[in-house]
A = this chain, B = another copy of it.
Amino acid sequence: MLNFNYSIPTKIFFGKNKIDVLAEQIKNCGSKVLLVYGGGSIKKIGLYDKIIDIFNKNEISFWELSGVEPNPRITSVRKGIEICRTNKIELILAVGGGSTIDCAKVIGAGYYYDGDAWDIVLDSSKINKVLPIASILTLSATGSEMDAGAVITNLETNGKLATGHKDMAPKFSILDPTYTFTVPKNQTAAGTADIMSHIFEVYFSNTKEAYLQNRMAEALLKTCINYGRKAIDEPENYEARANLMWTSSLAINGLLSYGKETEWSVHAMEHELSAFYDITHGVGLAILTPHWMEYALNDNTVNNFVEYGVNVWGIDPNGDKYEIAHSAIKKTREFFVSLGIPSSLREVGIGEEKLEKMAKQATSRGKLGKFKPLDAPDVLNIYKAAL
């Protein structure tokens, strides 16, 4: 096990009606709030009205930034910073999924940064201080509600990059699974694929002696497999929604990655797909993952895939190693298909044209991963296999 420093300071209020803590928790930070949200689904489910009512009853002043995009853009971040500065905002409350929360985080960091906000996306070391962030989660997927990272897109440069700072972790997040009852089937599916991808990125690793972390990763994968389809078939199944929601947070808050070398190469490859084609992140991950697995499978890594197949998919351990590995990868692909997710790039409108450019950009910061290091030609091979 590698050395690590563990700090997960975000408070989570989990369950039905937990929004009751909102006013009290906000007041720990101040009473001037920027409310950040996306396309208006929070209005449809009555959550927006509920929040405004709480604000009004508790003398909390608020300003709004709405229309944050599914792949949140730097232009929205800039708008948010402007509102915060003009109105001396004390806390940014993101209500939505990961995109909304990511946007809020970078607004919070940009508030204290003198230059243009894209600088702190390109180079997180320029972040020194962050306005307090909080979230009310309405989509189980990115884990942004409990981690310190954010991914922002710059359409001018086709850039989609991750940044982060410890103070970008929300002070608190409210996780009420009933807010995800109305999430459409395709987004539930993509969210589940996103959660699973976060787990894969830290599960497949050169660190062999992180037994505990690996067994926990398998616990989370089994939860996604057990409830992914159920949440699609029965959108108001509280048990399914609750398990997926809590899994989304634990998948990426550090619990599974502390003490391990981590990978994150599928995410880096997918970010190019979303940046160039604006596709749904979880869909891109689900398409690429089985192909990455096949590409990463070799004599050095086969035991990891056997462990995955046996412990997660219940494959008989007494077969040929490579057969077990291939079977585990096949089951992974079949699971994503069973959720109704497309299984090829062409199905989501991506052809060969930009693959080479995307492969170069995906590796512009250097090789991806260490479990199976990927350079631009490797990434191109994986993109092509996924066509």
Contacts and interface: CB of A to CB of B under 8 A. Distances in A.
A3 B243 CA distance: 12
Nearest to A5: B13
Interface string A238-253: 1100110011001000
Nearest to A214: B219
A14 interface: yes
B223 A219 contact: no
Contacts of A7: 11-12
A227 interface: yes
A215 interface: yes
A5 B247 CA distance: 15
Instruction: Point out which of A3, A12, A220 has the most chain B C-beta atoms below 10 A from its C-beta.
Output: A3
A62 interface: no
Interface in A226-264: 226-227, 238-239, 242-243, 246-247, 250, 255, 258-259
Contacts of A4: 12, 14-15
A9 B218 CA distance: 25
A209 B227 CA distance: 11
A218 B246 CA distance: 17
A16 interface: yes
A216 interface: yes
A12 B6 contact: yes
A5 B11 contact: yes
Contacts of A5: 11-14, 21
Interface in A359-385: none
Interface in A98-139: none
Nearest to A258: B14
A246 B5 CA distance: 12
Nearest to A9: B9
A6 B8 CA distance: 10
A11 B4 CA distance: 11
A1 interface: yes
A362 to B, nearest CB: 32
A326 interface: no
Contacts of A11: 5-7
Nearest to A219: B215
B243 A212 contact: yes
Interface in A164-209: 177, 209
A259 B239 contact: no
Contacts of A8: 8
A18 interface: yes
Contacts of A219: 212, 215-216, 218-219
Given A1-B242, A209-B243, A212-B220, 12 more contacts: A1-B243, A5-B12, A5-B14, A5-B21, A6-B14, A8-B8, A15-B259, A209-B242, A211-B223, A211-B243, A212-B223, A212-B247
8 contacts: A3-B16, A3-B17, A5-B21, A209-B238, A209-B242, A212-B247, A246-B259, A255-B255
Interface of A: 1-9, 11-18, 21, 177, 209, 211-212, 215-216, 218-220, 222-223, 226-227, 238-239, 242-243, 246-247, 250, 255, 258-259
